[in-house]
């Protein structure tokens, strides 16, 4: 996608029916949202903080959904968008009338150096917990590494996202995780009721 010509359609300049043409200038950032990490596309186009709409390529394929920014409504900014590839599994599930299960964490992959040099196990590394979430009620903490959701093995945050999408809200699952102890990581299992 890098250096791909794109059109921003919708409300890229804050008014309905506006269009901007430009290029994707960066694809290597990710945004950590609750239970999902999404690719961020940065463009060379300038829009409003209230911008919304989609990015399409010259083959008329949607490649991103424009991200709204908080702030003064008439402020300007470089347009960014969530990459559509990361959103498609969520969109498919919702369009089929299914709910998305939530555990309530933010996280990332365990860096290779941390695994090799620090002995941090592979899995979904928990960086934050939403207050009053299933994760918090079950006792999951920042710094834990989730290695299994139910029967699904987790070796990356992407594995975690995929496994969570295959689960149903209000279902009870076993979360297997590794927690830093003295002197090494200890395995724990916690029972969690997911929410929708």
Taking residues 178-191, what's their average pLDDT?
Answer: 91
Quote the percentage of the chain above a pLDDT of 90. Answer: 80
The pLDDT of residue 62 is 96
Taking residues 121-125, what's their average pLDDT?
Answer: 95
Rounded to two decimals, the pTM is 0.84
Give tens-digit pLDDT for 96-109. 999 999 999 999 99
Point out the least confidently predicted range of 75-79, 164-168, 185-189.
Answer: 75-79
Query: Quick check: 50 pLDDT over 90?
Result: no
Sign of torsion over alpha carbons 135, 137, 143, 148: negative
The pLDDT of residue 75 is 76
- CB under 8 Å to 80, separation ≥6 — which residues? 40, 41, 42, 43, 66, 67
- Residue 138 CB-density burial (10 A; 0-12 exposed, 13-18 middle, 19+ buried): middle
Query: Quick check: 31 pLDDT over 70?
Result: yes
The pLDDT of residue 5 is 96
Q: Residue 74's pLDDT band (boundaries 50, 70, 90)?
A: low
Quote the percentage of the chain above a pLDDT of 70. Answer: 98
The pLDDT of residue 181 is 85
Taking residues 67-73, what's their average pLDDT?
Answer: 73
- CB under 8 Å to 141, separation ≥6 — which residues? 126, 129, 179
Q: Where are the beta strands (DSSP E) in 110-193?
A: 124-129, 145-149, 152-153, 172-180, 185-193
Q: Residue 3's pLDDT band (boundaries 50, 70, 90)?
A: confident
Q: Residue 73's pLDDT band (boundaries 50, 70, 90)?
A: low
Q: How far apart are alpha carbons 91 and 93 in whole angstroms?
A: 6
Taking residues 11-19, what's their average pLDDT?
Answer: 90
The pLDDT of residue 72 is 59
């Amino acid at each position: 996608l890098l250096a791909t010509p794109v059109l921003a359609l919708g409300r890229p300049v804050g008014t309905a029916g506006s269009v901007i043409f430009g290029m994707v200038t960066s694809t290597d950032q990710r945004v950590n949202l609750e239970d999902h990490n999404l690719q961020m596309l940065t463009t060379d186009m300038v829009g409003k903080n209230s911008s919304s709409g989609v990015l399409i390529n010259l083959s008329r394929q949607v490649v991103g959904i424009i991200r709204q920014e908080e702030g003064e409504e008439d402020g300007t900014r470089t347009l960014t968008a969530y990459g559509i590839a990361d959103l498609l599994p969520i969109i498919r599930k919702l369009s089929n009338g299914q709910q998305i299960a939530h555990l309530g964490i933010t996280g990332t992959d365990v860096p290779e150096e941390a695994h090799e040099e620090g002995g941090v196990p592979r899995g979904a590394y928990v960086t934050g917990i939403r207050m009053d979430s299933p994760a918090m009620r079950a006792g999951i903490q920042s710094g834990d590494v989730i290695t299994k959701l139910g029967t699904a093995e987790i070796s990356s945050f992407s594995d975690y996202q995929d496994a969570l999408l295959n689960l149903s809200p209000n279902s009870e699952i076993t979360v297997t995780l590794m927690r830093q102890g003295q002197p090494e990581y200890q395995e724990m299992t916690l029972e969690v009721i997911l929410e929708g």
